[in-house]
Chain A
């Protein structure tokens, strides 16, 4: 039982390049989330999903797209990376209803955009 895993762990991009971050969970959770963490700003929600095939915008969605084609996977895409997207990205998952109270986090992906 690996919990929440994220791929890759670290990536360097040039401005304008694209990439996809993969989040996978093996807990059969309905809800999945993508956050970014920046110094002095705490974690901010980018996008989230309340079930397979659904996505919704969070607090800071601009410049990102997401897809939830399979229940266990949640992909975060950057179509044209910008230096402002340099950050640490965390994926989380939770059950639904009362079980959504506890979110389980992955280890993070550190992204540097030059």
Chain B
């Protein structure tokens, strides 16, 4: 049973554009929502994360928007670059949770 639903499955954005990836969850016990970035042949690496007590978190060109009432959160990549081309995973975990529940991933291609 998929606990975190992610869309779109793939995304093509022109250089300089905004990439937006959306996730939704059902379990209201989730209290930690990270985004991971994975390049081919590598393991996922933490990009940015948010807790439900804030509605937005920004780190450089990457922003998480969080809507607790809608149980949705999204990743915005501003000024997308070809080097951002990778697979992005949203995830969620419960307090003191010992595992991340991942979305199915979004393959992002940023064209020059």
Partners in one complex: no
A-to-B contact residues, CB < 8 Å: none
B-to-A contact residues, CB < 8 Å: none
